[in-house]
Amino acid sequence: MSPSLRSRLHRRLGPLGVAALAVIATLGLMAVLAPLLPVADPTDVDLSDTFAPPSAGHPFGTDSNGRDILARLVWGSRTALLGPLTVTVVATAVGVVLAVVASWRGGWSDGVISRMFDVVFAFPGILLALVVAAVVGAGFVAAVAALSVAYIPYIGRVTRGAALQQVRQPYVAALSVQGQSATAICARHVVPNVGILIVAQATVTFGYALVDLAALSYLGLGVEQATPDWGAIVAAGQSDILSGYPQQSLYAGVLIVVAVAACCIVGERISDREQYWGRLR
């Protein structure tokens, strides 16, 4: 990392924010590089070696099926992070487009879009995912699709508020007089000007989507039972807690908490600093 980038990040996020960003990057790398990492096969069942204590072969021990816990945690990061990433990208893309259209056109377009946000907002993410699971059957894709819709208003409402302030600025009228199209003004000026706010909100959304998706997997309505996933690992280990083996549930739980806390810290730091710089300007 170049020194200038590091100092800019530091100014923007503060020491805690930089540390949180490093945690997110590490978890992301772990997910991407899972096939290259020197861990065992996460689906390798060995019924002669169940609940093994930590050893050289199994650094975190094994679960009730003799599967390597470390390998399941590492591979589990793939579904645990890919799901929320998809939710965040889709919800942000749709939410920003709707919000910019609403703030630019105003009038009945704004009315309809804002009411749509209200209606979707009436369905908490988990609830919408449950209804969708009842309609099309439970699964990872259904859960991700349902949450992508459920999180649109969380991005949309914030973006609409900020974009409304932008479109009233004189520079927008000036560009309009110069003959620039509405699409060009929105894409090149309005969205970049509220970009930091969108990034902050998207980061926090990623954290919440991670919790919701893990909860759905925990309920058995997300990934398939055999697929390693942090939420599913917590669920799989719950019955073992009563027999005195809380390891895999606790490890997976800690990973979820660390990932979500890191996202919340980064998201809040970005929006805090933005408000701070905004006041100075």
Partner 1 sequence: MPRFLVTRLVGLAMTLVVSSFLIFWSLYLAPGDPIATLSGGGTLPPEAIQALSRQYHLDDPFFTRYAAWLGDVVRGDLGESFVFNAEVADLIATRVGTTVLLVAMASVLIVGVGVTLGVVAGIRGGLLDKGLLLTTVIGQAVPSFVAAIVLIWLFAVQLRWFPAIGSGEGFAGRLQHLTLPAIALALAYLAYVARITRAATRDEMAREHVETARARGFSPSQIARRHVLRNAMIPIATVSALTVAGLLATTVVVERAFNLGGLGSLLVEAVVRKDFAVVQAVSLILVTAFVVVNNLVDLVYVVLDPRVELGAAR
For the beta carbon of residue 11, count every other beta carbon within 10 angstroms: 11
Separation between Cα atoms, residue 44 and residue 53, nearest integer Å: 17
Question: Could you tell me the smallest distance in angstroms from the CB atom of residue 217 to partner 1?
Answer: 10
> Rounded to the nearest whole angstrom, what is the least distance from the CB of residue 2 to partner 1 in the complex?
29
Do residues 13 and 270 lie in contact, with contact meaning Cβ atoms separated by under 8 Å? Answer: yes
| Maximum alpha-carbon separation in the chain | 77
Q: Residue 92 burial (CB < 10 Å; 0-12/13-18/19+)? A: buried
Binding positions for partner 1, rule: CB under 8 A? 115, 118-119, 122-127, 130-136, 138, 207, 211, 214-215, 218-221, 231, 234-235, 237-238, 241-242, 244, 246, 249-250, 253, 256-258, 260-261, 264-265
CB atoms near residue 71 (< 10 Å): 23
Q: How far is the CB of 44 from partner 1 (least distance, A)?
A: 25
Q: How far is the CB of 252 from partner 1 (least distance, A)?
A: 8
Is residue 150 within 8 A of residue 125, CB to CB? The reply is yes
Q: Which is nearer to partner 1, 20 or 185 (CB)?
A: 20
Question: Of the two residues 53 and 170, which places its CB atom closer to partner 1 in the complex?
Answer: 53
What gap in Å lies between CA 126 and CA 168, rounded to an integer?
A: 37
Cβ closer to partner 1: 102 or 190?
Answer: 102
**Residue length of the chain:** 281
Q: Which is nearer to partner 1, 228 or 231 (CB)?
A: 231
Is residue 68 helix, strand or coil?
strand
Nearer to partner 1, 202 or 265 (CB): 265
What radius of gyration do the chain's Cα atoms show? 22
Q: How many CA atoms lie within 13 A of 72 on its CB side?
A: 31
User: Which residue has 């893309």 as its token pair?
Assistant: 93
Nearer to partner 1, 162 or 256 (CB): 256
CB 114 to partner 1: min, Å: 10
By the 8 A CB rule, do 172 and 109 touch?
A: no
- The residue (of 45 and 250) whose beta carbon lies closer to partner 1 is 250
